[in-house]
Structure 1
Amino acid sequence: MHNLVLLIVCFLAGVLLRHAGRLPGTTSQVLNGVIIHVSLPAVTLLHVHNLRLSGDVLVMAAMPWLHFGLAALFFLFLGRVLRLRRSVVGALLLTGGLGNTSFVGLPMIEAFYGSEALVHGIIVDQAGSFMVLSTLGITVAGMYAGERPGVGTIARRIVTFPPFLALAAALVLIPVEYPGWLTVLLARLADTLAPLALLSVGFQLHAGHVGGNLRNLAAGLGFKLVLAPIFFLFLYGGVLGLRGLSVEVTLFEAAMPPMVTAGIIAQEHDIEPRLASLMVAVGIVLSFVSLPAWAFVFDRFF
């Protein structure tokens, strides 16, 4: 419970600091830079070191890819039925198809499942969400903005991303025993992830303009926060009959709100920026209610 309280306090602190004007407008960019270059690599190096590769890894990594494919089918169909603008479909696909499995996901996993469960969230995030964002996400954004990023550009973005480099290093170092001082150092740096991430998310919160976007917002968040988790609960827990902490954490990641980075990409490509901003902001706020509910459901199911 104290971890959840910490997340809420940090989130509200970010919101209040933004409204108070005590910090510069670029604060969230600085915080995100620290998270990406320091906190997240430290978490990866610390927890992936104890990972034992098995079939569970494939199950965890597959979820974000299946999630994005499901979102494409859902929003393309919805676009035809409701006659949505092409740009609206693109914004919903990017934000509704990619979950915040890192900045919100990892702190929430630690709060509900403990630090030992972080390794499962890292696999979902790095081998799943990040790879989907860097390949399919960037490609879709380019298509809806009239661009087509090359294979070289996509590959360069992947291999130069610090958390991805940390993941590769952590996998190579699995057979190597860390010295005590390094474990302590990585643990201290990893502890900064949760407070900095939620502070950054709170600072970035933009309510935007709901008017004219309410129907699209409801459809996007209804899929992301409700329909997608139900689908994966049915697929993983029902059809495939999978059990265990790794599966439970994977389903919990499927219930995460829209990815902040996906919303930023949509805004940078001018793909319904107001709708994309609303999807991220409102989704994060609602997730403080929906995620505890899903954690309760998964705990009873498993």
Structure 2
Amino acid sequence: MILVQQMLVLFVLMGIGYFCGKKGFITDEFSKNLSWLVVNVATPAMILNAGMNYESSIRGKELLFGFGMALLVYAFLIAISFLVIPLLRIPDNDKNVYRVMTIFSNIGFMGLPILQAAYGSEAVLYGAIFQFPYNFLIYTYGIAAMKGGNALGSSEGLKRIINVGVISSLLAIVIYVSGIHMPVVIRTSARHLSNLAAPLSMMVIGQSMIHFKLRGIRGNIRLLAFSILKLVTFPILGMLLLSFFVKDEMLLHVCYIMLATPVGSMTAMVAQQYGGNYTLAAKGVALSTVLSVITIPLVSLLIF
């Protein structure tokens, strides 16, 4: 119920972003600047704020176990990505895009703000762990898959694995595990900045919806079927699998959000740079994002 309530709040914020976009108060250029703030300032601050939560009961071994579950989640998604192709009878020229869309979700821009809003800093600390395998895989396996390779690795883009999201996640975990007490000024600043992540990210997503054309999606039954599989079927299957290993309710909720978030925008960027169907990837991002506003709370009611 908490998740449903918070998703309604986030939906209202998205609606405000959509309204401001329609009225021209948030232009595309302004939206890009807000996105930069979310990715490079607000979200890292939110992750660091989670690491400075000294009252948390999560210990080092729980974080290590959480990292193991993050690896299991991505192993599950990679395996599932091969089943999607015959299941939906994907044309040969689109197979790579669907594989990458299956694996990589919007965990940073949408997942972490949802965790913060619904469950608080402890959930964000768990969620930050997912940043490590995500960044490694998107710049190695993701690029190889988009180009048609099957190897779990690619030398291209490796230097971009270390970015502000990974650095802030690593710092947060080091601060948390070591028990270092940061100065009050830093903690207060991080807390205030972290409060910007959810409203700004949702307003940016809302503004981007002004470009969503339903008639451009209407005839693509395959993409609609894929979005339902990704947002409903795969999270349910994944949670059934994880329930055999995970007894911590908080970690289960985190894993669900990581599985249930829509196709990540990085999918479209990788498709554009490495010869994939960029238009298909962009439509997948848009359609799954719109549907996720409904599916995330509804599926959670079925699971929890």
Shared fold by TM > 0.5?
yes
Question: Residues 168-189 of structure 1: CA distance to partner in whole angstroms, max 9, x if unpaired?
Answer: 2223333211122211110001
What are the residue-to-residue correspondences of 1:122-161 with 2, within 5 Å?
122-124=128-130, 126-143=131-148, 150-151=154-155, 153-159=156-162, 161=163
Corresponding position of 2:92 = 86
User: What is residue 168 of structure 1 aligned with on the other side?
Assistant: 170
Q: How many residues align?
A: 287
- What's 1:59 paired with? 68
Q: 1:249 aligns with which of 246, 254, 266?
A: 254
Look up the SS of the partner of 1:143 in the other structure. coil
1:44 to 24, 41, 47: 47
List alignment gaps of at least 5 residues for structure 1.
Answer: none
For 1:293 and 1:200, how far apart are their aligned partners in 2?
Answer: 23
1:213 aligns with 2:220: yes
Question: Does the CA-based 8 Å contact 1:63-1:250 persist in structure 2?
Answer: no
User: Which residue of structure 2 aligns with residue 290 of structure 1?
Assistant: 295
**Per-residue deviation, 1:191:** 0.7
Residues 228-275 of structure 1 show CA distances to partners (whole Å, capped at 9, x for unaligned) of 1122122111x4363431123212321111112223332444533332
Number of the residue aligned with 1:33: 36
The change in CA–CA distance for 1:94 and 1:17 in structure 2 (over 3 A counts) is farther
1:230 and 2:236 matched: yes
1:5: how far off?
A: 4.1
The Cα shift of 1:292 comes to 0.9
Give the Å deviation of 1:298. 3.4
**5+ long unaligned stretches in structure 2:** none
What displacement does 1:192 show? 0.7
Shift of 1:166: 1.4
1:198 correspondence with 2:202: yes
Kindly state the Cα deviation for residue 23 of structure 1 after the two structures are TM-superposed.
3.6
Q: Distance in 1 between matches of 2:32 and 2:147?
A: 23
2:14·2:206 contact (CA, 8 Å) conserved in 1?
yes
* Residue type of the alignment partner of 2:86: F
Q: Does the Cα contact within 8 Å between 2:113 and 2:198 map onto a contact in 1?
A: yes
Say whether 1:7 aligns with 2:10: yes
RMSD between aligned residues: 2.5
Are the counterparts in 2 of residues 76 and 89 from structure 1 also a CA contact under 8 Å?
yes
> Equivalent of 1:180, from 172, 180, 184?
184
Question: Under a length normalisation based on structure 2, what TM-score does the superposition of the two structures give?
Answer: 0.84
Distance 1:133 1:155 in 2: 10
> Structure 2 vs 1, CA of residues 169 and 110 (structure 1 numbering), >3 Å: closer, same or farther?
closer
Letter of the 1:91 counterpart: V
In 2, Cα distance between the equivalents of 1:249 and 1:52?
A: 16
Asked whether the 8 Å contact 1:142–1:269 carries over to 2, the reply is yes
In 1, the alpha carbon distance for the partners of 2:68 and 2:258 equals 13
Q: Which amino acid aligns with 1:53?
A: G
Distance 1:191 1:87 in 2: 42
**Which residue type is aligned with residue 227 of structure 2?**
L
**1:225–1:42: structure 2 CA closer, same or farther, 3 Å change rule?**
same
Q: State the one-letter code of the partner of 2:297.
A: P
**Structure 2 counterpart of 1:169, one-letter code:** L
CA distance in 1 between counterparts of 2:8 and 2:251 reads: 24
Cα deviation for residue 49 of structure 1 reads 4.1
What is the percentage of aligned positions where both structures have the same residue?
Answer: 23
Change (3 A) 1:172 1:109: closer
How far apart, CA to CA, are the structure 1 residues paired with 2:123 and 2:173? 17
Partner of residue 101, structure 1: 107
The alignment partner of 1:102 has SS state of: helix
Contact kept, 8 Å, 1:67 with 1:254, in 2: the verdict is: no
Shift of residue 212, structure 1, vs aligned partner: 4.1
Moved beyond 6 Å, runs of 4+: none
**Residue 52 of structure 1: how far off its partner (Å):** 2.6
Q: Which residue of 2 aligns with 1:21?
A: 24
Contact 1:64 1:98 in 2 (8 A): no
